[in-house]
Structures are given as C-alpha cells and as structure tokens.
Homo-oligomer: A and B are copies of this chain.
Amino acid sequence: MNFDNNIPIYIQLVEYLKKEIILGKFKIGERLPSVRDLALLLKVNPNTMQKALIELENQKLIYTERTNGKYVTEDKKIIDKIKNNYAKELTNKYFFNMKSIGFNEKEIIDYIKELEANNGTIRMY
C-alpha cells in the first residue's frame, strides 16, 4: 500500500478493504485475516487497522464473531448497495469536478472518447 499523506491512513484502509470486498477478493461470508495479520500485511499499526475495521463494521460490510475473527457480511444486498452508491458517488464527483473546470456534459463525454482513442485504453492513475 502507498498511502497519501494528506488523508488519514485508516480512511484509506477503509476504502481499500471496501474495494476488495466489492471486487470479491474477500468473498461473501469469508473470514478475514486477523487484525494483526492485516496490519502486518499492509504495514500499519494494529490499532489503525482496528479503527478501519470498526468503520467497516459500522457500515455492515463485515461482522465480528467473538474470539473467532471477522467475516465479510453474508448479505449480498449490502455489498451491492455499497457498490452502487460508490459508483454513483464517483461519477457525480467526477462530473462535478470536470464541470467546475469548465467542461459541460457533452464535452466530458467527448473528452473521454478522445482519451480512449489516443490511448487504446484509459491510462491507469
């Protein structure tokens, strides 16, 4: 993980793990690695990881089984809903930002097509 110094690490962890779950890299109902292991894996302090996981639990994406570990929710609807909200948020934010530097909707779409045509594919950020 490369962390952006301007954003709290635990928030970046939340985003990262949320994506892993949405993408199914952590499957529905699957047990997550232990807090300590996740912390080691992503090279953060266990408390920081804990804080991120509490946030994911608040969002119902994971739940805790006492002394057994943490599991991805078994409710596919929650995951789908979060995925949809996320997509909508990203898209609205993108259009908002593009408009705020002077693009209108048609221009945005043209811009995307042009980028695609030039690159074959949109370059990864």
Looking at chain A's contact residues, the main secondary structure is: helix
Question: Residue A101 at the B interface, CB < 8 A?
Answer: yes
Interface size on A, residues (CB 8 A): 43
- How many subunits of this chain does the assembly comprise? 4
CA distance in complex: A39, B85 (Å): 34
CA distance in complex: A88, B125 (Å): 9
Q: Chain A 1-45 against B: per-residue CB contact (8 Å), 1 yes, 0 no?
A: 001011111010000000100111000000000000000000000
Asked if residues B115 and A23 are in contact (CB atoms below 8 Å), the reply is no
Instruction: Report 22 cross-chain contacts, Cβ distance below 8 Å, ordered by A residue.
Output: A5-B64, A5-B66, A6-B8, A7-B7, A9-B66, A19-B100, A23-B101, A86-B101, A87-B101, A87-B103, A88-B115, A89-B125, A90-B94, A91-B98, A91-B111, A92-B122, A92-B123, A92-B124, A94-B94, A95-B122, A105-B116, A105-B122
